[in-house]
Amino acid sequence: VDVPIEGVFVDYAESVSGAGGIPVTIPRSADAAALVDRLDGLLLSGGEDVHPSRYGAEPGPNATQHDPGRDAFEIALIHAALDMSLPILAICRGVQILNVALGGTLVPHLGIRDGFDHSTTDEPRGTRRHGIVIEPGCLLASALGNEISQDNRARVNSFHHQAIDAPGTGLTTVARADDGTIEAVEDAGRGILGVQWHPEMHDGIDPLFTWFIQFAAEHSADRRGTP
């Protein structure tokens, strides 16, 4: 089903402001390039499935609602942000649309893998339901800091039935679930980090938002020539 879906989850705004940033909600009618030029970073949020036609697939029986207009607008935002070298934090659907915008593909439906359902929603939103293994020395590892154990593991929540299949151009896989599902990708040199979980739902201000706001502030100062 293709429908326009408008809405804002306050968790994202509260996480950005709690980390020291000023959240700006972007209207879909805006000119992507003109608007991105006034931003210091781009946060891509969760939501409905990316339309499968964007990555060469057909809608399947497990597809949720699609919003082709949102897909098109967010892809335009992504390319505008890349052209201006803005840092990007992409969350859940956000990392999926980022991947598709860069030529990658998605797993249309994960189903049950090794007895685990990534899309289960019958627990509190902040429940860290499963572990992930993180590549040592990556941007994600640096951002998470002491949330990572000595064996390079962390725990995250899980509310998705899709995931990255083939990473897009420039993206490197830096975290996987125990069943092999890609949980995070990054382009460290460009300040791009995408995660499949929802850090805005974790208790307190998640360190990913602290990293994002600090990185965006430093990038803004360099780009605008301010101290």
State how far the Cα of 48 lies from the Cα of 57, in Å rounded to an integer.
16
Angle 48-50-54 (CA atoms, 0-180°, nearest 5)?
165
Q: Among residues 130, 161, 198, 202, which one is catalytic?
A: 198
Could you tell me the two tokens for 5?
């879906």
For residues 159 and 196, the answer to whether their CB atoms sit within 8 Å is: no
Residue 51 catalytic? no
Catalytic residue status for 58:
no
Q: Which of 74, 160, 200, 202 is catalytic?
A: 200
Residue 140 sits at φ, ψ, to 5 deg, of -60, -45
Residues sharing a CB contact under 8 Å with residue 127, sequence separation 6 or more, in sequence order? 157
Residue at 103: amino acid letter: G
Q: What number of CA atoms fall less than 13 Å from residue 137's CA on the CB side?
A: 0
Choice among 74, 92, 130, 160 that is catalytic: 92
Residue 131 · residue 80 · CB < 8 Å: no
Alpha-carbon distances of 221 from 40, 214, 217, 218, rounded to whole Å: 9, 11, 6, 5
How much is the CA Rg of the chain, to the nearest whole Å? 17
To the query of whether residue 198 is one of the catalytic residues in this protein, the response is yes
Catalytic residues: 92, 198, 200
